[in-house]
Amino acid sequence: MSRKSIPNTKPVVKKHLERTVKIQWSKVLKDPRSLTNMKWRFDYLMNMTFYGMLTGQKTLRHVEDFSENYHERISDTTLYLLLSKVDPEPLRELISKEVKLALHDHELPKDYFPIRITAIDGKCASVSKQSVGTFSQESACNDTVQYVNRVLRAAHVSNETKLILGQREIHGKTNEMSEFIPFVESLLNLYGKTDLLEVISVDAGMISRDNADFLNKNGLKYIMALKNPQKKLVEVGRELLGNRKNYDEITSEYANGKTVTRQLYRCDAPIYPEWPHLKQFWRIVQETNDKGKISTEERYFVTSLEYSKLNHTQVIKAIRMHWGIENNANWVFDTAWEEDDRPWCNYGFTLITLLRVLAYNIISRLKSRRLRQKNDRERSWAGIMSMVNTILVEMRIENKMEAFISGCNA
């Protein structure tokens, strides 16, 4: 980091934090404690938890250490007992409020891409040794029992800033497919008056006629990956595009020592009574050259978008944008926050994962929209969270956040 970037960066980060992290938790969430157990102010306990999330603390024990540097030390046991009892539902509205604020502030410009794409994908949000309730799915691993706790997340992927719009926890006895429609219904309740849900993209695990019909009925377009469960559609796609010799577009890029070439084949969909809203078939053939070792992958997609909506290059970009929820958002959760292995509070599973989404969105807005200098653009997520840590403590010392950190009730 150059010296020149330091004085320009700090004010930007500080201003962003002053706008986004001063949350009056007592007005958002209900304090579940009894009147006889009120040594610490609810807002202080939640702030320490949330600031710990923003600064990349790995466990509640690390949050305990952080709280001592920030103001007053809070034991991890105190935090654990609180977080396991707080009702997390109001956080969904808070997340949507922050996303819509970013939209209002022109941080998600429509001119970045012709259509707005929101990708929905499943993710393992934690693996625990004991069940966390209805969201846990038992899994055997090396002769031991573990519990996998999964969620569906929706990410707006057609902008440089990839914000998470919402989350739905997957109950242990269900799967992604059965949770899809209820999840989209909740997203429509939160974002139905915006255009953020213009096009929904999903992988093959969530393609079904019922899901496609639901999206079409609610005025939403879809891009869906094809695989064998939709056998008839797969056969139609292969018949139309599988033997075509001339591609419509080809792109090539070099990154991480690999050359990746993508060939696009596309066509209008024939009349298909069971899928009356289906407009196109897409086929992508991807060839990866890794130091002379060549691998090829073929994928098919169906969409309700009109052919004229995107040109050939934009179709390839749209498909890659869907992968952005895995390669960007999910990757960040697993590396910067170590989400799979750091549940913090098993019985506060939903609360913790939603707080992590809120923290991710704040850091994402900072990283992609606020830090514009070259040196800043190259900062890692961990580096930015370390900088946030430093500046939060400085703001505390300057008494700029006094109203939000006072510890004891007494």
Q: What is the DSSP string of 195-238?
A: STTSEEEE-GGG--HHHHHHHHHTT-EEEEEE-GGGHHHHHHHH
> What is the arithmetic mean of pLDDT over 283-298?
92
Determine, yes or no, domain membership for 395: yes
> Does residue 409 fall inside a structural domain?
yes
pLDDT of residue 119 exceeding 60, the answer is yes
Among 28-32, 59-63, 154-158, 380-384, the range scoring the smallest mean pLDDT is 380-384
Q: Provide mean pLDDT across the span 51-61.
A: 94
**243 found inside a domain:** no
In this predicted structure, the answer to whether residue 7 has a pLDDT above a threshold of 60 is no
Q: How many domains would you assign to the chain?
A: 1
For 104-113, 163-172, 290-299, 338-347, which range has the lowest pLDDT when averaged over its residues? 338-347
In a domain, 82, yes or no: yes
Domain that holds residue 374: 1-111+347-410
- pLDDT (average), residues 303-315: 97
Report pLDDT for 376.
67
207 in a structural domain: no
Question: Are the C-beta atoms of 52 and 63 separated by less than 8 Å?
Answer: yes
Query: pLDDT, tens digit, for every residue of 318-352?
Result: 999 988 788 788 889 998 898 888 888 888 999 99
User: Is a pLDDT exceeding 50 seen at residue 381?
Assistant: yes
For residue 192, give Cα distances in angstroms to 166, 186, 189, 262: 13, 9, 6, 34
Quick one: 9 exposed, middle or buried, by C-beta within 10 A (0-12, 13-18, 19+)?
A: buried
Cα 289–253–117 angle (5° rounding)? Answer: 120
Token pair belonging to 316: 């390839």
For 233-269, how does the pLDDT look when each residue is reduced to its tens digit (9 = 90+)? Answer: 999 999 999 999 999 999 999 888 899 999 999 999 9
Q: Please determine, for residue 175, whether its predicted confidence score (pLDDT) is greater than 90.
A: no
Q: Which residues of 263-282 are buried (b: 16+ CB within 10 A; e: fewer)?
A: bbbbeebeeeeebebbbbbb
Residue 357 structure tokens: 């989404």
Q: Quote the CA–CA distance of 252 and 55 in Å, as a whole number.
A: 37
The pLDDT tens digits of the residues spanning 394-406 come to 888 776 555 455 5
Residue 410 has pLDDT above 60, yes or no: no
Q: Is residue 372 part of a domain?
A: yes
The answer, yes or no, to whether residue 4 has pLDDT greater than 50, is no
Contact at 8 Å (CB) between 299 and 284? yes
Residues in the chain: 410
pLDDT: is 227 or 115 the higher one? 115
Does some domain include residue 351? yes
Is 380 part of a structural domain of the chain? yes
Kindly report, residue by residue over 131-140, the tens digit of the pLDDT.
Answer: 777 777 887 6
Q: How far apart are CA 23 and CA 405, in angstroms?
A: 11
Q: Which two tokens stand for residue 163?
A: 């914000």
